[in-house]
Structure 1
Amino acid sequence: MLDTVKQLLTTRSNSIQRKEKPLCDKHNLQLDLFCEKDLELLCPRCRMSSQHLDHYLMPIDQAASSHRRKLKGYMKPLREQVELAENESETQKLKFIELMMKVEIKKS
């Protein structure tokens, strides 16, 4: 999914820079659709191919918005996991320092 969003974001930033939509490598037409099943950008000709005929397609902007929302939904639990891991790491570091101090005291 991240690769898809990166592709959409790269496409979007390149489009903004060039003030136009990206082109299909096969047909040299504008890529303006997104195939949800295959997670790829399509031009009108690719849309009509038998490979995508029964797939759900949507405009690139709509797909980008939808996938951004999904990613934001994934980010909160991941941030919480990172925070927990960082806290646990800090706790383990403190325990290690405490044990090292006890070892030094015992050596003395």
Structure 2
Amino acid sequence: MSDDDDTGDEEATPTVQLGDGRAVEGAPIARVAARLTWPQTKSDILEKFGDTDIRTPDGPESLATILESVEDTYFDRRQTFVAAVRDVVGREPVATE
């Protein structure tokens, strides 16, 4: 088969619109949690991602500021960390521009 063959695959693939294009400031907490290996201490998380802005219902907030309100100093699993952060910031939808 040559590069000149037109198989029509381009026409058969539908285009999917992902969202309406509005920007959301900050990183999802799940993305930050996925970049770490578990278990982690609070100090290690702060060293690696403390300056990262996290999406919250009230707008972006630094992870360091959020973790100041968390009493736990050790997170055995990703789910434990995510739950602790969501207990502080809430579970409401994140505001867009």
TM-score higher than 0.5: no
Q: Using CA pairs below 8 Å that are at least 6 residues apart, which structure has the higher relative contact order?
A: 2
Q: Which of the pair has more CA radius of gyration? A: 1
What is the TM-score when the length of structure 1 is the normalising length? 0.27
Which structure shows the bigger proportion of residues in helix conformation? 1
